[in-house]
Amino acid sequence: MKNPEQLSVKNSQLSEDFSGETGLLTSVTSKEDSVKQQIQLSFVMYGVKMAKEKSGAYLFLPDGEAQPVAISKPFIHVLRGPLMSEVKVMLLNVEHVVWLQNSPGAFSIYHIHRRRTLDKLLLRANYYPMPTVVYLEDDIKCITMVTAQAPSVASLKQGQFEIMQDQRLCQDNNRGLGQGVLDNKRTPNKFRLFIERRTGKKLLES
């Protein structure tokens, strides 16, 4: 049986659409005004720069822009319920889960530092710590991602951001560790996505 072209889960406030091919989020629609926000969620991977000094546990020296991770015939599980809906996607080395809660919630105010992406800097110099939250905004909407852990983040192209999940490297980078990064463990990373109007009225939460 072929996967459907699109999967959906809903609550009283919004509807979320997922690709039937990959299981990843593609759009969020507000039921209040039927506004659909297109979202392109994907997993990408950086290669290692082939030079005398290479990436390691303490150095990030990629060989260029990140490349999409190919997703082929993933296991997709959809659970719909009165309190919460769930879309789970089993990928190679990744278990990706999206929850849509059917209950009201509150969003706290965080102290946020403004960062600028500078083309004259190396790619790694445009990555910053993400202790709690990152957001992008225009004149109409603000898209915010809140994290339960502290990864690093970059916005290398207009209208998107990258959140670093993990690293695995075969070589040492001569900074004292004496080995590559080959002991990766399965680790949960939790995020919450908000889409808001610039007027301050909350539009969507998932």
The per-residue pLDDT for 48 is: 85
Give pTM, 2 decimals.
Answer: 0.65
Q: Tens digits of per-residue pLDDT, 102-154?
A: 866 544 447 678 888 998 988 889 999 998 899 888 888 888 899 999 899 99
Question: Domain span at residue 28?
Answer: 6-205
Query: In this structure, is residue 50 part of a structural domain?
Result: yes
Domain presence at residue 1: no
Q: What is the pLDDT of residues 171-185, one digit of tens each?
A: 777 777 878 888 888
Q: Is residue 35 part of a domain?
A: yes
Sheet of 133-137: strand order equals 133-137, 141-147, 191-197, 202-205
Q: Is residue 126 part of a domain?
A: yes
Q: Which CATH number belongs to the domain containing residue 76 in this structure?
A: 2.70.98.30
The count of domains in the chain is 1
CA 134, CA 159: separation in Å to the nearest integer? Answer: 13
